[in-house]
Structure 1
Amino acid sequence: MLPVITFGLIGGGWRATFYLRIAAMLPHRFRVSGILLRHPEKYEELLAKWNVAVYRSADELARDSDFLVLAVSKNGVPAWLSELSQAEIPVLAETPPATNMTEFDQLTAIAASDARIQVAEQYPLQPHHQARTACLQSGAIGDVHHVQVSAGHGYHGVSLIRKWLSIEPAQSCEIIGRRFSMPIGDVPYRDQTVPDDREGEEVQEIAIFRFSSGKSAVLDFSRSQYFSQIRANRILIRGTLGEIRDNALVRKTGPGLFESLSLERVQNGQEGSLSPLSLLEIRVGANVLYRNPFSPYPLSDEEIGVAEALVKMDTYLRQGVSFYSLTEALADVRLALAMERSFTEVKPVIVE
């Protein structure tokens, strides 16, 4: 039997509820020891719903936890990471760790220390992205030189770009970014619906990355993709022997020989299945690219990614295997900040 991972939460906002929900659904794998809130009186509804103990200090919470999860507003992350690193408390921090270059420089010094910090960048850990990564690592489409990502904003999209292109944190690049506005008839936000006759505005962000290695990428995203049924994500990964287009794989297998395959999502709980509704695995042909370690529990892909980060944080503390260090996270923030600068100044930006 796998050990139960006990973690404490700092923060009670929207992202914190993901961790509370995951622990409630998987009590055999996760336990929330407590939650640290600056003003607990503001969170009476949350505390009543999840029946979680309130702590007044990080030191007290850390004594009852394997590690702490930092899920505060992004503006509060740098100060908290500084405090926790000085106290030598292991922490899994929500993204982004920094929102400007001043914070970036502050956290770069912390990243160079022995602080036990990992960052919960869940996008590369989501099932379909893990399946695509496994496909690339198998050599199915050869060496990858170009990707187009429309699956997450800013640093999330950048993290996928760097992973699939195998870009080292210090590699330089040129970024050309543009931002466009357009009307949209469906603008829900975090489970909130809107009247059918309401028309809103969405912002489309498109950035081209040209890395010093010669590899390239396009990040193309509108935040309406997170919640709207009329906006879909798109992925293109091009290698020397083929490409992955969303969940379709086309590749060369020999002189004049080619094959087309699909990344198939195998789901429990559908039609005649009596199992709970949950992801079982993702496969291409007979090859399993990803198997859900939390099946048969009904987690969304986002929740699976977050749960994977919790498990990997536990592995990091037990075995020293880093999965997304503060250094890696800051590399993505560095590119995301440069991309934002290109959007704002409407000109190319060079990242040295």
Structure 2
Amino acid sequence: MSKRERLARACKAAGAIVALCGSMMAHAENWPSRPIKLVVPSTAGSTPDVFARILADALHAGMGATIVIDNKPGAGGAVAVNAVAKAPPDGYTVGITPPGPLGADTLLQKRLPYDPARELALVTLAVTQANVLVVRDSLKAQDMGQLISALQKDPDKYTYAAIGAGSVNRLCMELVIQQSGTKMTRVAYAGTPQAILAVVSGEVDMACLPEQAVAAQVRAGKLRALAIASARRSAVLAAVPTLKELGMPGIEADSWMGIIAPAGTPPAIVNRLRSEIAQALTQAQTREKLRTQFMEVVASTPEAFARTVQGDVTRWKSLIQTRGISVD
């Protein structure tokens, strides 16, 4: 190939890149021109679903976009995350993810249907809230000391509800088991509402679930809150101590929710989406709605979101290995 031919080919390739960039810029400038699908990793009425609908309303008010909620429960959020990963990277499919599908599931699942590092774009860690260790009201244990004594006395008797193999609510209970030297049997459920119903009905004995999901049942006396699995006490359940206060340091299992998009989504769209979400979540009216649902606004950058995910992977890896946690 002559020098002139090589130069012509290079110019042609450069022209194609410029055209592609121009097309992507035009696409980003016109976005959104149709409804955006927001994939939710659990059933209607669950904590992520409640957040999704608050966010959808706020985005509609702020940017005029129509947000369509698409509930895809299953596998602790992995079904929804996979749906986002496999969607066209055009800015019209985004999703909500809990910690598990990006963190513990990558350690537990040998063959995840998606690769978080290659198939997903992190947009923002949107909100976080504490998990609460609750027991059925008919259980005699009135505090964590009595609960641990009961577990030690009858090591094969008690059960806990969990959602997905790598969910934070499961890992929280596994940390309690590890630090107290006790045993419990895990019972899996499709979503938070089902897990709560199981504890309230006495189908299982306890669970570690988001504060938004359990607070009403605690106030009604149908569940008893024994501990907060967070760094600090709840403003609403102020009388309930943290697990750290009770001599179980390191059990901080907050339920955060992040926003993801398919990898390859134009950076301009990802940046605008993050900006629009941050603006929507920090509006006084939206922040108050989230506060009533016990959710704290984070609205981080993609880089900060990535650091949170990596921190979770590092933290849960030791527990998964020492406890021999698997997907069975």
In the superposition, the TM-score normalised over structure 2's length comes to: 0.37
- Greater relative contact order structure (CA < 8 Å, 6+ sep): 2
TM-score by length of 1: 0.35
Larger radius of gyration: 2
